A and B are shown apart, each in its own frame.
Chain A
């Protein structure tokens, strides 16, 4: 049993360290260092040695002293065996090994001697792998998007892998893509349009959805069950099947290329889910509060304004953020309805940029950063509200 868990630990931990060193190498490559190979096998051997020593030393010495000595000696060994590389790269290797030996702290021979321990060890390392895998897979494209927007066309042609930002240039040159995007491609106008459309959609949706949701949640009327199921069914129908009839009707009514037309469509497509989310929350408000309001002589309108809305602000915030996100990110309808650059939204404008094959990619990425950043900031700041919106909106509906 002891031998089996020892082998598994060695195997899992050395693959783990080798992998993170390789990822660090890739990151360094993207900062302009030229590596011609990943040297996975070399890293693996080195990690194996490190793990063996660390496990056999165990906790006989001071932990801090042990990890520092091990990390420094292995970093020096790494630098000595591989080709020379700048200090920051070696520093990174040192930190990685430090982190790794610290993780190995509890893995001494005594720990490995426990029953059923091997499964636990595999699981622990799998979790570590998963953290790194998900962080890498998700953040890598965002990182590339951000960094590419600071490069120039020629620099990208010379070495597409060097994505380092040259801070020795003056500030105008570093942010050149953004200046060009705003000046030549008129992105200031698109940001305004996108904001108008998104905020407008939120306001109109709330205006329509709150009364409707209140009626569905509280009042008795003929066809209520039918209505609440059809809300969900309607939400399932995709935009793509609506596009052709809406396009023809909007063309004949002259609503294409107008913000008004876009607002109508966005509101209608988000209304079902908004009503669904709000009525669920309204139902959870105790009826007694409203009855007290009724006795005070309030009519339905007064009850909604004075009782329901103040009590359900969190739900309203969720719906608003969710609808805002949908409207800000929407692409299909803006592609269909807008072909005059004066009425473009941000998404449509970026799509328009790619229509010209000559558009340099750093401009495209600068545009992408501009459209992505606001929504990510809003998400991070209001995460709690948006997550409940997402859960209700996208999976239930």
Chain B
């Protein structure tokens, strides 16, 4: 009895899981593996379309002869880079209509014309003409002829399915001089973005954990930056920081705090003189990091607040008895209580910030020293139109991610369940 029940249970479990698992596999896991395949190929954006033979049918009257018509098929190979083999063509005619002087490649049988055109090289074009006449010398209805669509097919290699592989993509990634800079930019962005968001999150959580008038309002608006759509927020900030008539620059200039407006998103370096030494600050990158902090500190805030509210109240009461001030309470009670959560938060936010694409893409598009790995995937794949390179960069991202995850599970994975 129990074995049949557990069998039924297993079967039910698999049926219930099947749709979700299939979908996730095909849309998430399959592409990750497909990336490996594509990254070893030389594929451009234009190669993705499968080449196909195409024909445009034009019907023309022949002068003084209503019982004959000329049909021109403008034939072409849709691809400019790939050949099509064994192109076959067929078209239908209405009753009682026959072609005259048919091309040798074709033959006519039971109202149907069939042709075999052989191989078409890349970019092949031909104007293929036939003349048709009505057997009974009646007037041919042009619309009737036009209503039939020619049918073409041919064989071609799908460049994605061939087994030619090359290491060219990886070679050009790793041998590129900018690769190190790309990595460093990504790490700067990820590290400082994560750190800043967590620090700001601690402040916000500490604030909301107190009682004050308007606390629940504060709690709601603190989440606005994350809840709002990234497109709208990124463009609003771009507008605020615009050097020509952006609000912040105009304010600073009109108050005389700065002489000239500063292009916070378009200037790669800002030279700061401290004690006679010139420091180069990555200006655009810093701005983007600040946007990142602004947008994602709410998540850190939420998580830290939940932890703060779980700290037993008697710890603070005991501290009050000892006469400890608020700062002492924070450093000696609150901080030790939240360090575990902070380390988990840091790892997870690190992984997520590492993958961030939209924010930088919308603010700078990767220009002025803000090119990170995810932006590079887009640039290689869609701006340079080199799908293979884009995939290779994706592989680099996936490998780094796996490394981070291993570190995460090794370091904190076990503790994650205790919290």
Contacts and interface: CB of A to CB of B under 8 A. Distances in A.
A29 B236 contact: no
Q: Which of B20, B38, B214, B239 has the most CB of A within 10 A?
A: B20
Given A244-B387, A300-B12, A265 B27 contact: yes
Interface string B27-44: 111111011001000010
A195 to B, nearest CB: 14
B312 interface: no
A212 B14 CA distance: 9
Given A271-B20, A371-B232, A161 B251 contact: yes
A160 B394 contact: no
Given A211-B16, A251-B48, A245 B231 contact: no
B299 A221 contact: no
B373 to A, nearest CB: 8
Given A248-B38, A391-B302, A160 B245 contact: yes
A35 B255 contact: yes
Given A237-B401, A240-B378, A268-B27, A219 B9 contact: yes
Interface string A104-115: 000000000001
Interface residues of A, number: 104
B288 to A, nearest CB: 15
Interface string A383-397: 100110011001110
Nearest to B298: A390
A36 interface: yes
A371 B251 CA distance: 28
A368 interface: yes
- The prevalent SS among residues of B at the interface is helix
Interface in A221-267: 221-222, 224, 227, 233-234, 236-249, 251-252, 264-265, 267
B20 A211 contact: yes
B138 interface: no
B26 A244 contact: no
B286 interface: no
B17 A364 contact: no
B230 A138 contact: no
Interface residues of B, number: 96
A157 interface: yes
Contacts of A267: 23
Given A131-B218, A245-B34, A221 B207 contact: no
Interface in B5-59: 6, 9-10, 12-14, 16-17, 19-21, 23-24, 26-32, 34-35, 38, 43, 48-50
B228 interface: yes
Given A371-B231, A395-B303, A244 B394 contact: yes
B345 interface: yes
A209 B203 contact: no
A93 to B, nearest CB: 18
Q: Which of A34, A208, A365 has the most CB of B within 10 A?
A: A208
A238 B207 contact: no
Given A211-B20, A372-B229, A134 B207 contact: yes
B411 interface: no
A380 B20 CA distance: 31
A73 to B, nearest CB: 26
Q: Which of B49, B232, B256, B303 has the most CB of A within 10 A?
A: B232
Contact of B232 (A26, A361, A368): A368
Given A161-B250, A329-B230, A376-B228, A156 B245 contact: yes
Interface stretch (A60-68, A116-124, A174-182, A312-320): A116-124
A85 to B, nearest CB: 15
Contact of A248 (B160, B250, B326): B160
Given A351-B231, A380-B220, A387-B223, A220 B299 contact: no
A346 B228 CA distance: 13
A332 interface: yes
Contacts of A115: 323
Nearest to B324: A116
A351 to B, nearest CB: 6
A375 B230 CA distance: 12
A244 B24 contact: no
A141 B237 contact: yes
Contacts of A375: 227-229
Contact of A395 (B43, B294, B299): B299
Given A211-B16, A237-B398, A386-B227, A361 B239 contact: yes
Interface string A133-164: 01101111110110010000000110011010
A26 B251 CA distance: 8
A10 B303 CA distance: 36
A116 to B, nearest CB: 5
B265 interface: no
A272 interface: yes
B381 A244 contact: yes
A130 interface: yes
Contacts of A30: 247
A395 B254 CA distance: 42
Nearest to B33: A245
B221 A138 contact: yes
A36 B256 contact: yes
A69 B331 CA distance: 41
Interface stretch (B108-116, B174-182, B351-359): B351-359
A26 B248 CA distance: 10
Interface string A350-391: 110010000001001101110110011001100100110011
B383 to A, nearest CB: 12
A239 B357 contact: yes
B152 to A, nearest CB: 18
B358 A212 contact: no
6 closest cross-chain pairs (CB), A and B: A238-B355, A119-B325, A268-B27, A368-B232, A245-B34, A245-B31
26 contacts: A36-B256, A130-B204, A134-B204, A138-B225, A141-B240, A148-B239, A157-B245, A212-B19, A219-B9, A220-B9, A227-B21, A236-B405, A240-B394, A241-B32, A244-B377, A244-B390, A269-B27, A269-B28, A329-B231, A331-B231, A350-B232, A350-B235, A351-B362, A372-B232, A390-B223, A391-B302
Given A237-B398, A244-B377, 12 more contacts: A130-B207, A131-B218, A142-B228, A156-B245, A163-B247, A220-B6, A240-B355, A245-B32, A245-B34, A252-B160, A329-B229, A386-B227
